[in-house]
A = this chain, B = another copy of it.
């Protein structure tokens, strides 16, 4: 279950495929399926079976020939490997359209992320509630983060305020930042920054589309 031979560098690509497997495995589990092979998993995603096996290998899980992996324990291994087995509390800054959408998405809890409060600069928003979350003034961020031992911050502010939000979070002892703003951000050594950039994904789409129309 635990992995004693974890390599120093986990391929980012593998890390991104594991949630896909997990999602499918949970469906299989719900359907009462007990065992699954890499071949089966691979078929679902049009991946190479060996690729899936190597990804699973990262989690430390071992399978049995001709049978595959036990669905229930594999789910546990992947969750544990991703850090989704124990809940991480998080604060969100920026209650605009995107911030609201994230607050409204209840499933993050299944992925170990528990948003506990939201913050905004706009005094008209402060004090209101969004999907059950009270909106606090950003001036309260540091105090509350320290008091509640929050280490994860989510940034959904407009790009021109994104660096401010980062600084606020860093000062408050935030260790990992999930950033949805398109601005390039500066963070000190030791703080983790993970960006969600919609325009990057759009770029891949439109570039491919361009070539479709060309041919």
Contact = CB atoms under 8 A, between A and B. Distances in A.
A83 B192 contact: no
Contacts of A97: 100-101, 104-105
A16 interface: yes
B82 A23 contact: no
A212 interface: yes
A209 B184 contact: no
A192 B212 contact: yes
B176 A212 contact: yes
Is chain A's binding surface mostly helix, strand, loop or mixed? helix
Contacts of A84: 203, 206
- What is the interface residue range for chain A against chain B? 35 or more
Nearest to A6: B211
Contact of A108 (B101, B196, B202): B202
Interface in A1-59: 10, 12, 15-16, 18-20, 23-24, 44-45
A120 to B, nearest CB: 15
A182 B152 contact: no
A133 interface: no
A203 B10 contact: no
Given A23-B182, A24-B184, 6 more contacts: A12-B204, A111-B199, A111-B202, A152-B205, A178-B205, A196-B198
